[in-house]
Amino acid sequence: MIIVFGSLNMDMLVRVDAFPDRGETVLSSEAKFLPGGKGGNQAFAAARLGEKVAMVGMIGNDDFGRILTDTLRRNGASTSGVAKSQDSNTGTAIVTRDKSGENQIIVASGANYDAKEQQVPDEILIDGNYLLLQMELPLEETVALLARASKAGVKTVMNLAPAIMVPQKAIECLDYLVVNSIEAKQIAVTLGLSESLPPAKLAQALAQVGNLTCIVTGGIEGSIAVNQNGEAWQVKTVPVSGEELVDTTGAGDCYCGTLTACLHAGKSLPEAMRYASGAAACSVKKEGAQNSYPYLSEIEEIIEDIPEAEKISL
């Protein structure tokens, strides 16, 4: 089982020709409401690959919350671990997308800040299961759950997004750390490392700090992974032309959910990175986050187009 302890948000997607400057008003022809939140997105992506997924988080007692959990259940994820806050509304996010497909996001966390690590029972923190985390829930709850899971022998995966300072003891409880190139630089600075290091060296430094495997994603540049022994792999992504690029929202979440699902299914790390790259490339060709995520069969249709992982020297 993959346990996802994370955020659940309803995304309001607004299209604009160009992002507004400070103080400027920009008109848009429409707004769409789409299921999101890093936790929900990553659980959805993992479930679409056919793995057993349990979503754990917090929603409000409102229509947005019901839509989010119904969507996850329809796509194979269990939501019995999702509780309802009596004090807060379901989290929301305003996603503004320009005509090039890039986006800006503002998150109102709402009920996500009421999530508690005790919502994950000890009975499912067992050897063989995976715990997938992000950084949109209260840090103290995430860190406490991480410590419990690591002690119980659960494989732990953290997408450190957004990039915030995490205690060293928490980093040492991780098996896998996934960050994009920008987040890797931000984390490096907090650890006293040079942000000018290339992605492979950043991954190596973070792997050594936490005695873990670090994966740094770079969008069209592909991804690089370095484990605690200094072994490194690089996977190039599938090129997506300007005409095919529709929306990058949630592509990183698609990568993380797919990567974790593949690892849980027993694939090697390099092969899991290939599948995750393929899934992310598929996701940017459709609008929104969850509805753009591919099924396993769709990834397998393009997997031959993704170069084999290349072992690299550091």
Strand arrangement, sheet containing 9-15? 31-36, 9-15, 91-97, 103-108
110 and 128 Cβ atoms separated by less than 8 Å? no
Query: If we measure between CA atoms, which residue out of 129, 119, 137 comes closest to residue 53?
Result: 129
Give the count of beta carbons closer than 10 Å to the beta carbon of residue 305.
11
Q: What is the helix (H) or strand (E) element at residue 102, kind and residue range? A: none
Dihedrals phi, psi of 81, to nearest 5 degrees: -90, 5
Please identify which of the residues 62, 63, 253, 305 carries the catalytic annotation: 253
Type of residue numbered 149: A
8 and 59 Cβ atoms separated by less than 8 Å? yes
DSSP state of 114: G
253 has catalytic annotation: yes
Q: What is the helix (H) or strand (E) element at residue 71, kind and residue range? A: helix 63-74
Q: How many residues does the chain have?
A: 314
Active site residues: 253
